[in-house]
Structure 1
Amino acid sequence: MPDSSDPRLTPARPDLADIRLKGVVAAERYVAGEPARVVVPSTPLRRAPRAEAGLDTEAVMGDAVTVFESRDRFAWVQIARDGYVGYLPEGALGRVDPAPTHRVAALRTFVYPAPDLKRPHLAHLSLGAAFAAEAREGEYWRLARGGYVYAGHAVPLGTAEPDFAATAERLVGTPYLWGGRTSLGLDCSGLVQLCLEMAGRVCPRDADQQERALGTALPPGLDGLQRGDLVFWRGHVGLMLDADRLIHANGHHMAVAVEPLREAVERIAVKSFGAVTSIRRLDPSA
């Protein structure tokens, strides 16, 4: 059953809703969604079916979605990964099959028209994007949907990088992008979500959702923290690299940056999100 308590996760509008929400939310019409998959390197999920509408998040190649409506070159969808609902460009979607077999483990990699690094590339795939590998040709995977990816930049689907803080460190310097969740641009919760997903952990999209869903709250205070602890503000989240240093995608640096936690706490309290609301520790065995 879809979540009906959070509009971001609820596939319901006054005129149309997921048939599973019939009797839960009011709508003029209910439909059973159709499965589809993102077949472009990345694509914006917007809050309205307009190119100039705000960016809520991004989907990447291999993401499964449920399509409830396609109209005027936009599809109204729910992303399977985190349940987010919004509008994707219709042209970004294709058949569910073939299912992905590998995902990109490099920050980004190129798709070539042939297994040859000297050929002009067709596109790039970001960290976490997934593809169906049809066959190995030398040092490259031939993609089922066309093109070739260097095999050394990909791992089998399900491979986990357990040190999610190490993934975050690889992303230092990535530009800040509201709604971004690729290695070309990230926001604070997009950074956390991407790093946890690369570690094989399920993670909600937004900071407030992450604060409710992830880990166990630590006692108030900034002492005794350890690598991997999550620090939350009202509307912001960062990740501890050790007892003293915080890594976060933020508008102050306009990038993923590392800084002393106490300096960040003092600045954020005055200039943006106020006081820390909680610090949460993830179960290492989860």
Structure 2
Amino acid sequence: MTETLDPRLTPARADIADERLRGRVEATRFVAGSPRRVTAASAPLRREPSPVAGLDTEALLGDAVTLYDTADGFAFVQLARDGYVGYLPADSLGPAGPEPTHRVTALRTFLYPEPDLKRPVLAHLSLGARLVVTGESGAYLETHGGYVFARHCAPVAEHAPDYAATAMRLVGTPYLWGGRTTLGLDCSGLAQLCLDMAGLPCPRDADMQERALGTALPLDVAGLRRGDFVFWRGHMGLMLDAETLIHANGHHMAVAVEPLAEAVERIQAHSYGAVTGLRRL
């Protein structure tokens, strides 16, 4: 009997699968996959190889992926960051290359063709995008065929440990299902981005995060504190203090701050039901 695996994290189709899954899934052929890196500023990862397929998540510049197949302009991949599987635009990928040296720490910045702010920009880069810096030119870092303002970046080893503070920087960011850039975020994308900036691993989806992040707390919101996570069936948020929640949500269509009690009442009445889990790192 074929093993039941989470399709979001399983690089397998009827015609091709990861070599490591041999004996666990059925496929016409098994391949090792080849390392690649995202060379676009950001790239949508979709559940099907179609531009109108649903958005599952987004990869950022510098993200490592394993490539299994390319056809009709789409690449069948697995993201190294969280193991998510899906289809990226094939032209968003390049050779694996060297490991990134820096990442973007500003909410948003630009890639310029020259170290000159008056030049037309090549790309918009989001918080968390990773760069391979090859040189410096005045106030700019040379990277990826262009230049980025140096004070908008930091070495990858430098982290922002207060992930709740990072979340506060994102208040007002529009809600986007599957989004994980500062142009648009969903609830679990917000958490993953903020934890990534803190140097902490985090799965992609809310149900995965509810199982994996930190340790479970008794199901009593009275004992929460800054940095704790609150989960519903299909939604999650982050506590700023004992009474205040920040979350990307469809009610506000943005990253918003509100009293936890108000969110719990509204969500139970109109969307995801009762709180299902509390976690603490």
Query: TM-score if structure 2 supplies the norm length?
Result: 0.98
Match of 2:218 in 1: 219
Match of 2:276 in 1: 277
Query: TM-score if structure 1 supplies the norm length?
Result: 0.96
Q: Any residues of structure 2 matched to 1:226-241 within 5 Å, and which?
A: 226-241=225-240
Distance 2:5 2:231 in 1: 22
Match of 2:135 in 1: 135
Q: Any residues of structure 2 matched to 1:1-286 within 5 Å, and which?
A: 5-143=5-143, 145-282=144-281
Give 1:56 deviation, angstroms.
0.3
- Is the alpha carbon distance of 1:213 and 1:185 closer, same or farther for their aligned partners in structure 2, counting shifts above 3 Å? same
Distance 1:261 1:31 in 2: 47
Distance 2:70 2:4 in 1: 22
CA RMSD of aligned residues (A): 1.0
Distance 2:215 2:38 in 1: 34
Contact 1:76-1:86 at 8 Å conserved across structures: yes
Contact 1:218-1:280 at 8 Å conserved across structures: yes
Give 1:4 deviation, angstroms.
6.6
Query: Moved runs in structure 1, 4+ residues, more than 4 A?
Result: none
- Is the alpha carbon distance of 1:4 and 1:89 closer, same or farther for their aligned partners in structure 2, counting shifts above 3 Å? farther
Contact 1:4-1:10 at 8 Å conserved across structures: no
Give 1:14 deviation, angstroms.
1.3
Distance 2:114 2:69 in 1: 36
AA aligned to 2:108 is R
Distance 2:269 2:224 in 1: 23
Alignment length, in residue pairs? Answer: 279
Contact 1:109-1:124 at 8 Å conserved across structures: yes
Could you tell me which runs of 5 or more consecutive residues in structure 1 were left unpaired when the two chains were aligned.
none
Q: Deviations over 1:133-156 (max 9, x none)?
A: 01011110011x201000000000
Q: Give the match's secondary structure for 2:273.
A: coil
Q: Give the match's secondary structure for 2:110.
A: strand
Give 1:98 deviation, angstroms.
2.9
Contact 1:247-1:257 at 8 Å conserved across structures: yes
